[in-house]
Amino acid sequence: MTLRFIFQQFAKNKLAVAGLITVLILFAVAIFAPFLTHHSPTAYDLDAILVPPSASHLLGTDEEGRDVMARMIFGTRISLSVGFVSVFLYVAIGVILGALAGYFGGWVDMVISRAIEIMICFPTFFLILAVLAFIGPSLYNIMAVIGLTSWPGIARLVRGEFLKLRKQDFVTAGRTVGAGSMRLIFKHILPNSMAPVLVSATFGIASSILVESSLSFLGFGVQPPTASWGEILSQSRDFMDIAWWLAIFPGLAIFINITAYNLVGEGLRDAIDPRMKV
C-alpha cells in the first residue's frame, strides 16, 4: 500500500479532511500567536475585570483582567506541545518494547508482557495524578508523566504486528542473507508495522490534550500565569453565573481540537485498512 493510495483514500473522507484543516489552523495559531493579538496573555488590567466579550476584548476578560482571547491563543501552544511531545515519548517507548517482545519472544516477551499488564492495571489518569502530586505540576512534568505512563497500548499493538510479520517471507529472506536482528527489526519489520501505530498516535494526541486540560482544570496542570485552556476553564467554576465566556470558549476549543484529531485518526484508519469502514 503506497502513500499515494492512502492519501487518495483519506481525501475521500470529507470529515477527515475537515479535521486535518482544523489541525493545520491550530498549528498556524500556535506558530503565529504573538501576531494574532495585541494583548498579553499574562498582563493584568484591574479596570477590566470580568468584562464580557466586546470590541476591545473579543472573548472577554477573566477575574484578573487578562484578555481571554490572548490566553486562548497562547494556550494553543501548550495543548499542542503536550500532545505531540508526550505522544512522541510514549510511542518511542512502546515501539521499542513491543518490537523486542514480538521479535524475540521467549523470556523477553514474557518480561515485557508482564510489565505491560502491570501498567495496564493502574488507571492511567489517576496514576498521572498520583505522580504529579509527588513531583509537582509543571509543563515538562506533565509531558514526561503522560509519556512514561501511556506506552502499554502502543507496545501491545507493535508486539502483535511483529508476531504476525516475523514469519513472513521477507524476514526469512533477510535472515538467509545474514541480516542481523537489529537490521531486521528496524529496517524491515518496523516500517511495515507503523501504519496502525500512526493511527493510534493520532488518537493519542487527542487523548493527551484532554488529559492536560483535565489536569489543569483540577489544578495539577500548567500553573498560572501560563495560559492553558484547562486553566481558563478552571477559573469559570467560581464565576459560572456571571462570566459564562470563561467556560464556553475554552470548552469549545478543547472540544474542537479533540474532535479534529479523532476525525483525522478515523480517516487514517479507514484509508490504511478499508475493511474498518462501517
Q: Which of 192, 263, 268, 199 is nearest to 7 (CA)?
A: 268
Q: Which of 136, 156, 154 is nearest to 145 (CA)?
A: 136
Beta pairing partners, 61: 67
Rounded Cα gap, residues 109 and 98, in angstroms: 9
Place of cell 477527515: 16
Q: Which of 231, 74, 75, 222 is nearest to 145 (CA)?
A: 222
DSSP H stretches of helix in the chain = 3-11, 14-31, 33-36, 68-104, 106-121, 124-135, 139-149, 152-165, 169-176, 181-183, 190-218, 229-235, 245-272
**Residue 149 resides in a domain:** yes
The SS3 of residue 255 is: helix
**Residue 35 resides in a domain:** no
- The chain-wide mean pLDDT, for the chain, equals 87
What is the arithmetic mean of pLDDT over 20-40?
Answer: 92
**Residue 38 resides in a domain:** no
For residues 116 and 152, the answer to whether their CB atoms sit within 8 Å is yes
**Residue 49 resides in a domain:** no
What is the arithmetic mean of pLDDT over 61-75?
Answer: 91
**Residue 224 resides in a domain:** yes
What is residue 218's predicted lDDT score, i.e. its pLDDT? Answer: 84
- Cell numbers standing for residue 216: 489543569
pLDDT > 90: what percent of the chain? 35
What is residue 277's predicted lDDT score, i.e. its pLDDT? Answer: 53
230 pLDDT band, cuts 50/70/90, is confident
pLDDT at 253 over 80: yes
- Cell numbers standing for residue 247: 467556560
pLDDT at 275 over 60: no
Domain containing residue 140: 9-27+67-273
Q: Chain centroid to CA 181: how far?
A: 31
For residues 240 and 247, the answer to whether their CB atoms sit within 8 Å is yes
Half-sphere exposure (CA, 13 Å, Cβ side) for 100? 12
pLDDT at 46 over 90: no
What is residue 112's predicted lDDT score, i.e. its pLDDT? Answer: 94
The SS3 of residue 248 is: helix
pLDDT at 50 over 60: yes
- Cell numbers standing for residue 143: 509531558
Among the ranges given (43-47, 88-92, 170-174, 189-193), the one the predictor scored with the smallest mean pLDDT:
170-174
pLDDT at 73 over 90: yes
Rounded Cα gap, residues 12 and 85, in angstroms: 30
pLDDT > 70: what percent of the chain? 97
**Residue 244 resides in a domain:** yes
**Residue 172 resides in a domain:** yes
Task: Specify the CATH number for the domain of residue 243.
Answer: 1.10.3720.10
What is residue 270's predicted lDDT score, i.e. its pLDDT? Answer: 85
Rounded Cα gap, residues 142 and 37, in angstroms: 27
Q: For residue 31, count other CB atoms closer than 10 A to its CB.
A: 13
**Residue 60 resides in a domain:** no
Q: For residue 56, count other CB atoms closer than 10 A to its CB.
A: 10
Bond into 225 cis (ω within 30): yes
Number of domains in the chain: 1
